[in-house]
Structure 1
Amino acid sequence: MVSALAEPTYRRLLGSQAISLAGTGLTTVALGLLAYDLAGGGAALVLGTVFAIKMLAYVAVAPVAAALLHAVAPRTVLVAADLVRVVLVLGLPVVSSVWQVYVLVLLLQAASAVHTPAYQAVLPRVLPDQRRYTQALSLSRLTDDLEMLLSPLLAAALLVVLPASDLFVGTAVGFAASALLVSRLRLDGPAPTDDDTRTAFAARARRGVAHMVRTPALRAVLALNLAVAAAGAYALVQYVVIARDVHGRGDGAAALLLAALGAGSIAVAVVLPRLLASLPERVLVLGGCGALVVATAAIAPALRVPGTPGLVLVGALLALVGAGWAAAETPVGRIITRSTPDADRPAVFAAQFALSHACWLVTYPVAGALGGWGPGTAALVLAAVSAVATAATATLWPTPEPAVDVAG
C-alpha cells in the first residue's frame, strides 16, 4: 500500500480522513456520556434515537446533496462540510435538553452525508491507476477500523485529564484540521455537461439510484449491502450482550470482542490489494459474504460453550465476521468506478452511501428486537438474511466479469 502514499494529494486526503474519523470516534464516546448526563437511566433510549437519526440523515441527505452540489468543486464541498461540522459539534457541550441533541446530531450527520460520498468520488480521479486506487480503498478500510479500535482508547486517556465535554472540542479540532489539509489541495471535478445544466434537480437526485438499478454489477452491490448489514448489525448490537449476559463478564470482555471484529477486518484490509491483483472481485466478494454467513450462524452453537473457551470461540468467529465484512465491502469502490462514467460518480457514490445505510437502518433494530429471543436465535435469523442476500448477489453478478478501468 506504499505506492498510493507516494501521491502527495492522496497522502493529504488520507490524513484528513484519519483525523476526521478520530474526531468522530471521540464524539461517539462523548455522546454516550452526554446522554447519561441528560437522561440518566434513559440514556440507552437517547443513544438509540441518536443512531437512528444518524442513519436517517445518511439515507435522506446523500442523494439530495449530490444533486444540489453536482457542479461545485470537490474541495469546496469537503472543506465546507468539515467547517459546518466544527460549528455543530461545538454546540453539543452547551445543550441542556435531549431534543437539542437530536437536532444537532441530525445536522451533524447531514454534513457527514455530504462529506463522505464526495471524498469517495474524488479518490479515483486522484489515483487513476487501478493498483493505487485499490490500495487507497484498503487504506480507507483500515482507517475506519482503527477509528473503531483506537478512538475509545484515546477518549479514555483524555478523560483522565479532561472533562467529558472537552471531547467535543477535540472532535472540532479534528474536523478543522481536516478542512485545513483539504483546503490546500487542488481537486478538480468533472466539468458539468450541457445535459447537467438542463437536467432538473429531481432527476439529478434520482440519477445515482437509477444508475445503480439499471447497471448489472451495481444491482449485485445492492444485494451485497444487505448481506453485509445483516451480519454486521448482529455483531455490533449483540457483542455486549454476549460478553455480559451470556458469559457474565465485564466491559473489558465486551471491548475485546469488539476488538476481535476490528482485527479481522484489519487483517484482510492489509492483504486485500495483493488478493485483488490475483483473484476476481467476484471470488473475494462472495467469499467474504460466505464467511459472514458461516461465522454468524456458528455463533449460535458457540454460545453454548461455557467459560473462557466459549468466549474465545465467539471472539474468533467475530474476527471471521470482520474479515468477511472487509473482503465483501472494500471492492465496492472499484465496482462503482468501473461501472460509472466520471460525471456520474458523485451521484452514484452518494446513492451507494444512502442505500447501504438504509440496509443498516433496517438491520440494526431487527438485531436489537431479535435479541429478546436470545442472541443465538438472533444469530441464526440474521445469518439466514445474509445468506439470502448473498445468493441474490451471486445471481445478479454479471458474467463474464468486466475488466477494471479505474480511470473511466
Structure 2
Amino acid sequence: MATNNIINAITEPFKTLRNTTFARLYFAQIASLFGDAFTWLGLALLTYEISPRYAAAILASALTLRVTAYIIFSPFAGVVSEKFQRKQILLITQFARMAIVCMLPFVNAEWQLYALIFALNVFAAFFTPTYRAIIPQIVEKEIYREANGLSMATFQLLSVFGPALAGIVAVWLGATQIFFVNGATLFIAILFILSIPKASLQRGVSSDNAVPQKTWGEVLKGIRLLFGNKIVRFALSIEFISAVAGAVVLVNTVGLVKTSLELDDKHYGWIMSVFGVGAAITAFLLGSLDKSKTRSVSLISGAMLIGAAISFANFVPYNGLMFLWILAGIGQTLADMPSETLIGENIEPKDQGKVYGAHFAFSHLWWAIAYPIAGFLGTQFPNREFLYGGIATIVLAIIAILMFRKSN
C-alpha cells in the first residue's frame, strides 16, 4: 500500500501532461530554462574575458541589473498579460531574448554587457508572469497543484544540473559560443508556443480587461490584491523569511566549505547540488501529497525547517552539512511554493495576471534585500553567520505566524 502511494505521488504530476496545451507550454519552459543555464555560465566566463581583475564586480553588477529589471517591469507585465494576446507576448519576448543572447558573443565592453543583460531580463520579466498566469487557466482545477509542482520542480532541477552540463559544453564549444546554444533552445521554445492555439492561452481573460484603463491603477490594484488577501499576504511574508535564509546559503556556503572546512571546489559543487535536489524533489512531490485547502502548514514548517537547518551549519563536519543542506532545500520549497498555488486559488481569474506580476516583482525584491543581509552576516560574523541567520529566520517566522493568527 505504501509503495503504491509513493508510486502515485511520483507519477501523478506527469499526468498533467495529458493536457496538450499545458504540455506544450511546459516543454517550452524546459527549453527556455535549459538555455538560460548556458547563458549565465557563459556570462561568468565572458566577464572574466572582458576584465579578469574586476570579473566578480562586473558579474555582481550584471546580476543586480537582472533583479532590478524584474522588480521594475514585472508588475507591468501582469497588466499587459490581461490586455494583449498572451501568445503574442510569449512569442515576442522569446524572439527578443533569442536575439539578445545571440549578440552576447560579440560583446567587448562592460557597457555593452550591462545593456544587453538589462534588456534580456526586461523581456524575461514580461515572459515569466504571463507564463505563470496562464497555468491555472489551462489546467483543470483538480490538477493545478500537480501542474504547478511539476513546473517548479523542473525549474529547481535545471538550476542544479543545467550549469553542470553547460560547463561540459563550454569546454567543447568555448566560452562565448555557448550563448548560441541558448539561442537554439529559445527557438525550440518558440516552436512549441507556435503550436498552441491562440484561444487556449486566452482562457480566463475577461473581455472587460480589454477596456482601456490606467496602467498605474492596474499595477496598484495587483499589489493591493496581493497584500489584501490574508493567506497570500502571509505566504509572501514567509517568502521574505525564506529569502533571508536562502541568501545566507547562497552567499556564505562557499566560504564555509573552502575556508572553515578547508575543502575544494568539488565539495562546494556537491553541497550546493544536494541543496537544489532537496528543493526539486519537494517541489515535485508537494503538489501530489498536499490535498488540503490550506497551505499554512507547508509555509510554517518550511520556514522553521530551513531556519533550523542552517542554524547548525557552523558546527558540523562536511557530511553533516550535506544532510542539513538537503533539509534546507526541502524547507525552502515548502516555504516558497504555496504562493503560486494560493494566487491561483484565491484571486479571481480576471485579476490573476496583474497579481502574478506583482508577486514576481516582490519575490525578487525580497532577494534584493536578503543578499546584503547575508553579506553583512558573512563579513561581520564569519564563524557564526549561519547560526545568526538561522535564529533570525526562526524569530521572523514566529512573528509572521503570530501576526497571521491575530488577523484571523
Alignment counterpart, residue 325 of structure 1, candidates 318, 324, 332: 332
Identify the residue that residue 60 of structure 2 maps to in structure 1: 48
Q: Does 1:60 align with 2:72?
A: yes
The answer for unaligned runs of 5 or more in structure 2 is 1-12
Tell me the equivalent position of 1:172. Answer: 183
CA distance in 2, matches of 1:329, 1:237: 19
Distance in structure 1 (CA, Å) of the matches to 2:397 and 2:37: 30
1:305 — aligned with what?
Answer: none
Name the CA distance, whole Å, in 1 between partners of 2:292 and 2:384.
Answer: 38
Is it true that 1:245 corresponds to 2:265 in the alignment? Answer: no
TM superposition shift of 1:143: 1.0
* 1:338 Cα deviation after fit: 1.5
Alignment of 1:24-35 (within 5 A): 24-35=36-47
Q: Which runs of 5+ in 1 are unaligned?
A: 303-309, 402-408
* Alpha-carbon distance in 2 for matches of 1:260, 1:142: 14
Is 2:77–2:129's contact at 8 Å kept on the other side of the alignment? Answer: no
Query: Residues 192 and 343 of structure 1 are in contact (CA less than 8 Å); yes or no, is this contact kept in structure 2?
Result: yes
Q: Identify if the C-alpha distance between structure 1 residues 98 and 284 changes in structure 2 by more than 3 Å, giving closer, same or farther.
A: same
* CA RMSD across the alignment: 2.0
Letter in structure 1 aligned against 2:106: V
- CA positional deviation for 1:369: 2.8
2:132 aligns to what? 120
Normalised TM-score (structure 1): 0.91
Distance 1:139 1:206 in 2: 31
How far off its partner does 1:278 sit?
Answer: 5.4
Matches within 5 A, 1:88-103: 88-103=100-115
Tell me the percent identity: 25
CA drift at 1:386: 2.2
**Residue from 139, 159, 169 that aligns with 1:148:** 159
What is the alpha-carbon distance in structure 1 between the residues aligned to residue 209 and residue 57 of structure 2?
Answer: 47
Q: Is the 8 A contact 2:94 2:190 kept in 1?
A: yes
Would the alpha carbon gap of residues 49 and 141 (structure 1) be closer, same or farther in structure 2, given more than 3 Å must change?
Answer: same
Residue of structure 2 in register with 1:14 after alignment: 26
Worse-superposed segment, 148-157 or 62-71 = 62-71
Which residue number corresponds to residue 149 of structure 2? 138
For 1:195 and 1:20, locate their aligned partners in 2 and report how far apart those are by CA, in whole Å.
Answer: 28
Asked if the contact 1:230–1:386 (Cα under 8 Å) also holds between the matched residues in 2, the reply is yes
> More deviation in 203-212 or 69-78?
69-78
Task: Quote the offset at 1:202 in angstroms.
Answer: 1.1
Residue number in structure 1 paired with 2:270: 256
One-letter amino acid of the counterpart of residue 4, structure 1: T
List per-residue Cα deviations over 1:294-338 (Å, max 9, x = no partner). Answer: 012121333xxxxxxx01111211111100011121221211112
* Deviation larger for 193-202 or 208-217: 193-202
The partner residue of 2:398 within 387, 391, 402 is 391
Corresponding position of 1:232:
246
SS of the counterpart of 1:249?
coil
The CA deviation string for residues 171-230 of structure 1, in whole angstroms up to 9 with x for no partner, is 111111111101210211444444762531110121211111221122112211211101
Equivalents in 2 of 1:17, 1:282: separation in Å? 28
The 3 A distance-change label for structure 1 pair 184 and 387 is same
Change (3 A) 1:399 1:392: closer
2:121 is matched with which residue?
Answer: 109
Gap change, CA 1:61 and 1:372, over 3 Å in 2: same
Q: Conserved in 2, the CA contact under 8 Å of 1:10 and 1:126?
A: yes
Report what 1:405 is aligned to. Answer: none
- Would you say 1:223 and 2:230 are equivalent positions? no
Cross-structure match for 1:366: 373
Q: Distance in 1 between matches of 2:208 and 2:41?
A: 47
Letter in 2 for 1:30: G
Q: Which residue of 2 aligns with 1:299?
A: 313
1:288 to 286, 293, 302: 302
> d(CA) in 2 for partners of 1:191 and 1:361?
32
SS of residue paired to 1:199: coil
1:82 maps to 94
The residue identity in structure 2 corresponding to 1:65 is: A
- In 2, the alpha carbon distance for the partners of 1:156 and 1:338 equals 40
Corresponding residue for residue 358 of structure 2: 351
Question: TM-score when scaled to structure 2?
Answer: 0.91
C-alpha distance in 2, partners of 1:276/1:62? 29
Instruction: Describe the SS at the equivalent of 2:82.
Output: coil
Q: Does structure 2 retain, via aligned residues, the 8 Å contact 1:217–1:396?
A: no
Q: Is the 8 A contact 1:12 1:181 kept in 2?
A: yes
* Residues 51 and 399 (structure 1), Cα distance of their counterparts in 2 relative to 1, 3 Å cut: same
Give deviations 1:79-104, integer Å, cap 9, x for gaps. 11111100111111101111111111
What secondary structure sits across from 1:40 in the alignment? coil
Does residue 39 (structure 1) correspond to residue 51 (structure 2)? The answer is yes
The superposition leaves residues 100-127 of structure 1 with CA deviations (integer Å, 9 ceiling, x where unpaired) of 1111111111111111111110001111
Amino acid at match of 1:284: S
